[in-house]
């Protein structure tokens, strides 16, 4: 599997937030709507990937601070039926991407 292809698909999904599922934890969902909007925007524009948060160069995890809180986001890859992990995250026909946005303390 190609890390470059996974990274490309992950970046496209996070930027447009289409082509998969986006989930917010209860803690994020409880935030005021303007803060949630800023959090989603930060995820969509996040580019601070480095060896510590992206060791496989797939852009599948990030963290940032906003409004005095620390946030994480992560991507997981499931099969199209959402029953098992995807056998090939480089193939959108076989993969459902799931982006989870959470408060760091919820991890």
- Is residue 105 scored above 80 in pLDDT? yes
Mean pLDDT for the stretch of residues 43-64: 96
Q: Are 97 and 7 in contact (CB under 8 A)?
A: no
The three-class DSSP label of residue 89 is: coil
Model pLDDT for residues 64-88, shown as the tens digit of each residue: 999 999 999 999 999 999 999 999 9
Model pLDDT for residues 20-51, shown as the tens digit of each residue: 999 999 999 999 999 999 999 999 999 999 99
Alpha-carbon gap, residue 75 to 14, rounded angstroms: 9
The pTM is what? 0.95
Q: Confidence band (pLDDT; 50, 70, 90) for 1?
A: confident
Q: Are 56 and 3 in contact (CB under 8 A)?
A: yes
């Amino acid at each position: 599997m190609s890390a470059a292809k996974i990274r490309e698909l992950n970046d496209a999904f996070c930027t447009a937030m289409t082509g998969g599922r986006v989930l917010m934890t209860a803690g994020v969902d409880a935030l005021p709507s303007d803060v949630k909007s800023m959090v989603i925007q930060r995820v969509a524009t996040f580019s601070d990937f480095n060896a510590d948060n992206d060791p496989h160069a797939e852009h599948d995890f990030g963290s940032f601070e906003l409004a005095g809180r620390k946030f994480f986001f992560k991507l997981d890859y499931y099969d199209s039926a959402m029953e098992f992990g995807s056998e090939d995250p480089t193939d959108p026909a076989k993969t459902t991407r799931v982006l989870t946005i959470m408060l760091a303390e919820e991890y």
